[in-house]
């Protein structure tokens, strides 16, 4: 894909995944990797930073005789997630105005980028 | 490379990081391997590229701050840990203690001497006034003389009141502020 996912967008993705329910590192990584191409090593620093910023916290849960570290959103994280949602809507529309300026808007935007 | 080799090398590359952060990172990647399953071990290692690359990202601590392009440019050297007041700074502080220590003591001594002088002036002035008054009848000339000297001493003391008040109101609150400012600039100096 020609477009790269930046820091804020990655934050927003992680927060959105956690908004659907608590998850652990591997699962979050795979969920994001299903959609956009990120390196597997990218996510740990992101998780750590979000934790340091107080957007989420971690807790350990036993799984098959070992620990699994789950992450969940804090109140601040939820706030941040909602903020990202509105900002994303806004951003998406602006970019659409430029990139899809020539595309007829009938039946909504149907953007298949190759 | 096997999983345990990978983790060992990563642990070495994270040397110098606060221990809990290091353990946190290692635990994350251990769990990551666990969750990926043994059948994906080599795939994960290939994907993570190298322990050095992973360590560099953790040291950089900014996750996706740099766009996650599939470039190898990001596998730069691990950045050094954030600076703290260096050992040199503390050694200097100790070595120079004869200088700043004696300066502090001198300042305190000067203030104490001033306070004692003012106290003595006031007490002797009051005494002279009393003694002068007592002798006013028996020995008028010396009595008036002593009395006037007492008044002069008290007057001198009163004249210093504005200065003392200023010192108490401005100087004492300023002391900790001044000490902090000196401390801050010393720390800044030590950082350079």
Cβ-based contacts of A43 with chain B (< 8 Å)? 63
Q: Is ipTM beyond 0.95?
A: no
pLDDT at residue B31 tops 50:
yes
User: How many other CB atoms are there within 10 angstroms of residue A11's CB atom?
Assistant: 21
Chain A, window 27-66: residues with a beta carbon less than 8 angstroms from a chain B beta carbon: 27, 29, 37-49, 66
pLDDT digits (tens, 9 = 90+) for B132-185: 988 888 888 888 999 999 999 999 988 888 888 887 788 777 777 888 888 888
Q: B16 by DSSP, 3-state: which?
A: coil
8 Å CB contact of A5 and B58: no
3-state SS, residue A16:
helix
The reply to whether residue B64 touches residue A7, judged by beta carbons under 8 angstroms, is yes
Q: What does the pLDDT profile of chain A (114 residues) look like in tens digits?
A: 677 788 888 899 999 999 999 999 999 998 988 888 777 667 888 999 999 999 999 999 988 888 899 999 999 999 999 999 999 999 999 999 999 888 765 555 455 554
pLDDT of residue B77: 44
Could you please report the per-residue DSSP string of B61-106? T-GGGS---S-STT-PPPPPPPP---HHHHHHHHHTHHHHHHHHHH
* Cβ contact B64–A26 (<8 Å): no
Output the pTM of the full model.
0.52
Whether pLDDT at B103 is above 60: yes
Could you tell me if A77 and A15 are in contact, meaning their C-beta atoms sit under 8 angstroms apart?
Answer: yes
């Amino acid at each position: 894909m020609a477009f790269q996912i930046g820091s804020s967008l990655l934050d927003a993705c992680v927060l959105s995944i956690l908004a659907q329910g608590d998850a652990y590192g591997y699962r979050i990584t795979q969920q994001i990797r299903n959609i956009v191409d990120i390196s597997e090593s990218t996510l740990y620093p992101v998780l750590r930073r979000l934790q340091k910023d107080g957007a989420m916290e971690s807790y350990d849960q036993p799984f098959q005789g070992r620990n699994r570290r789950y992450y969940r959103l804090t109140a601040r994280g939820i706030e941040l997630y909602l903020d990202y949602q509105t900002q994303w809507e806004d951003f998406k529309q602006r970019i659409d105005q430029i990139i899809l300026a020539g595309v007829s808007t009938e039946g909504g935007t149907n953007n298949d980028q190759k | 490379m096997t999983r345990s080799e990978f983790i060992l090398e990563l642990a070495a590359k994270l040397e110098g990081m606060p221990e809990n952060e290091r353990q946190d990172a290692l635990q994350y990647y251990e769990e990551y391997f666990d969750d990926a399953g043994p059948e994906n071990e080599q795939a994960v290692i290939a994907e993570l590229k190298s322990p050095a690359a992973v360590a560099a990202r953790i040291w950089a601590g900014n996750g996706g701050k740099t766009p996650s392009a599939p470039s190898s440019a990001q596998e730069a050297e691990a950045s050094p840990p954030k600076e703290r007041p260096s050992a040199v700074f503390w050694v200097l502080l100790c070595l120079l203690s004869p200088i700043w220590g004696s300066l502090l003591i001198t300042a305190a001594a000067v203030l104490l001497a001033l306070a004692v002088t003012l106290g003595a002036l006031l007490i002797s002035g009051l005494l002279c006034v009393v003694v002068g008054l007592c002798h006013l009848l028996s020995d008028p000339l010396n009595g008036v003389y002593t009395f006037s000297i007492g008044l002069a001493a008290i007057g001198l003391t009163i004249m210093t009141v504005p200065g003392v008040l200023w010192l108490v109101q401005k100087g004492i609150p300023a002391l900790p502020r001044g000490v902090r400012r000196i401390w801050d600039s010393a720390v800044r100096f030590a950082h350079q």
